[in-house]
């Protein structure tokens, strides 16, 4: 009698459990549930996952476990492949993020936006050059993602924001020339990354180090459907050693307004006798923060005419002719800000000249 009653009880309990499991499974597809379950086991603290099935990591995951800071003399070289690299990164743009929060999350970054790994001797020294005006909102997100991204790669790095003073037409490429000279003045960087402020890297295997040839890193952007728009494309994010940069006489100074300068730079690479190196499509992925056309960066109508002449002009316009005036240099906690007067087509002080 007793054993029969308990048998019934077990049977009813079993049925109940089965009903609950079926209810859960029928809410979403079985497969999704199971893969979610396994993902939890693979990456306990960092897995988020997304619609296309890529396993995404929080860019700050594991960074607090860097270990003790070592004495400079006891430091081994950092390994060739950083153990902190995790692959795809989860990128969102939370509206409440503040610069103070970014500072709080990056305690090892020092004045001027500099960092070196605390427990190994870095193999690479990389400077990031960001041309900028009136995009503080984008800059905040870029800093939020870029600092931990570079720390995951165990680099010695510095971030420079090159801010164009005044309201005259924007000139992205000339700001890069300023960035090159001003960054090299401070340190013997072995690689410089020229980085749009609105592009967020989505995979930390896209290492911010230079190759044997100038590197175009932003090969797969969401805005182009994660494909290269055309073969010679060199926009967004690129990386050159100082030698490579000087071999092509840097970037052009005379592209005012939007467009053309990236193609000019691409042409210079080949005129300088070099090839374009690229990461794989899987790794060179970026999200561009959506934006409208900026005031003061109108489309440059001369760009096609100029591009047709690059092969005749590149030696006489570039790093060897760049003229500018530094207005200020501030060492912020998360970056070095260099505000610069780059003048206009008519030169550095066009007003003074005309009023004489």
Q: Taking Cα atoms as reference points, which of 154, 144, 160 lies closest to residue 89?
A: 144
Query: Which 3-state string (H, E, C) describes the chain?
Result: CHHHHHHHHHHHHHHHHHHHHHHHHHHCCHHHHHHHHHHHHHCCCCCCCCCCCCCCECCCCCHHHCCCCCCHHHCCECCCCCCCCCCEECCCCCCCCCHHHHHHHCCCCECCCEECCCCCECCCEEEEEEEECCCHHHHHHHHHHHHHHHHHCCCEEEEEEEEECCCCCCCHHHHHHHHHHHHHHHCCCCEEEEECCCEEECECCCCCCCCCCCEECCCEEHHHCCECCCCCCCCCEEEECHHHHHHCCCCCCCCCCECCHHHHHHHHHHHCCCCCECCCCCCCEEEECCCCCCCCCCECCCHHHHHHHHHHHCCCCCCCCCCCEEEEEEECCCCEEEEEECCECCECCHHHHHHC
Q: 211 or 264, CB closer to ligand UD2?
A: 264
Question: Which residues, 213 to 252, sit near ligand UD2 by CB under 6 A?
Answer: 221, 235-236
Q: 196 or 204, CB closer to ligand UD2?
A: 196
Number of residues that bind ligand UD2 (CB under 6 A): 22
> CB of 278: closest distance to Mn ion in angstroms?
20
- Asked if 198 is part of the footprint of Mn ion (rule: CB under 5 A), the reply reads yes
Q: 204 or 263, CB closer to ligand UD2?
A: 263
- Asked if 288 is part of the footprint of ligand UD2 (rule: CB under 6 A), the reply reads yes
The one segment of 37-45, 61-69, 101-109, 192-200 that binds Mn ion by CB under 5 A: 192-200
Please name the residue that has the structure tokens 């003061």. Answer: 296
> CB of 320: closest distance to ligand UD2 in angstroms?
22
Question: Which residues, 135 to 174, sit near ligand UD2 by CB under 6 A?
Answer: 135, 170, 172
Q: Which partner in Mn ion, ligand UD2, none is near 215 (CB below 5 to 8 A by kind)?
A: none
The one segment of 6-14, 194-202, 295-303, 337-345 that binds Mn ion by CB under 5 A: 194-202
Binding string, 89-118, against Mn ion, x = CB under 5 A?
------------------------------
The one segment of 61-69, 89-97, 259-267, 270-278 that binds ligand UD2 by CB under 6 A: 259-267
> CB of 257: closest distance to ligand UD2 in angstroms?
8
List, in order, residues 6 or more apart from 282 with CB less than 8 Å away.
Answer: 203, 220
> CB of 216: closest distance to Mn ion in angstroms?
16
Q: Which partner in Mn ion, ligand UD2, none is near 297 (CB below 5 to 8 A by kind)?
A: ligand UD2
List, in order, residues 6 or more apart from 294 with CB less than 8 Å away.
Answer: 133, 134, 135, 170
The one segment of 48-56, 119-127, 192-200, 246-254 that binds ligand UD2 by CB under 6 A: 192-200
- Asked if 197 is part of the footprint of ligand UD2 (rule: CB under 6 A), the reply reads yes
Dist. CA 134–CA 16, nearest whole Å: 61
Q: 198 or 204, CB closer to Mn ion?
A: 198
- Asked if 261 is part of the footprint of ligand UD2 (rule: CB under 6 A), the reply reads yes
Q: Which partner in Mn ion, ligand UD2, none is near 208 (CB below 5 to 8 A by kind)?
A: none
Binding string, 40-79, against Mn ion, x = CB under 5 A?
----------------------------------------
Binding footprint of ligand UD2 on the chain (CB under 6 A):
131-135, 170, 172, 196-199, 221, 235-236, 258-259, 261-262, 288, 294, 296-297
């Amino acid at each position: 009698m007793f054993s029969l009653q308990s048998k019934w009880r077990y049977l009813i309990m079993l049925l109940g459990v089965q009903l609950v499991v079926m209810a859960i499974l029928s809410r979403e597809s079985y497969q999704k549930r199971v893969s979610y379950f396994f993902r939890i086991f693979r990456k306990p603290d960092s897995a988020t996952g997304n619609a296309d099935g890529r396993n995404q990591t929080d860019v700050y995951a594991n960074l607090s476990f860097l270990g003790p800071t070592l004495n400079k003399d006891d430091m081994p070289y950092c390994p060739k492949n950083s153990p902190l690299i995790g692959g795809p990164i989860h990128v969102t743009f939370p509206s409440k993020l503040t610069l103070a929060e970014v500072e709080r999350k990056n305690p090892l970054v020092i004045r001027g936006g500099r960092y070196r790994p605390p427990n190994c001797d870095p193999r690479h020294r990389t400077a990031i050059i960001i041309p900028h005006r009136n995009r503080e909102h984008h800059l905040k997100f870029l800093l939020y993602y870029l600092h931990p991204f570079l720390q995951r790669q165990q680099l010695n790095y510095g971030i420079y924001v090159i801010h164009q003073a005044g309201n005259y037409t924007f000139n992205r490429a000339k700001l890069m020339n300023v960035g090159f000279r001003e960054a090299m003045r401070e340190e013997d960087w072995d690689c410089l990354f020229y980085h749009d402020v609105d592009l967020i890297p989505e995979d930390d295997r896209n290492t911010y180090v230079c190759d044997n040839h100038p590197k175009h890193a932003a090969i797969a952007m969401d805005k182009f459907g994660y494909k290269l728009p055309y073969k010679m494309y060199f926009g967004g994010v690129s990386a050159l050693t100082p030698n490579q940069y000087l071999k092509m006489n840097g970037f052009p100074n005379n592209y005012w307004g939007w467009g053309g300068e990236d193609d000019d730079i691409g042409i210079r690479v080949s005129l300088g006798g070099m090839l374009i190196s690229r990461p794989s499509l899987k790794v060179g992925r970026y999200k561009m923060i959506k934006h409208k056309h900026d005031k003061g960066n109108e489309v440059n109508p001369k760009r096609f005419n100029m591009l047709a002449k690059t092969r005749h002009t590149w030696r006489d316009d570039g790093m060897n002719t760049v003229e500018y005036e530094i207005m200020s240099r501030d060492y912020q906690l998360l970056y070095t800000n260099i505000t610069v007067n780059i003048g206009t087509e008519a030169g550095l002080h066009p007003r003074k000249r005309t009023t004489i």
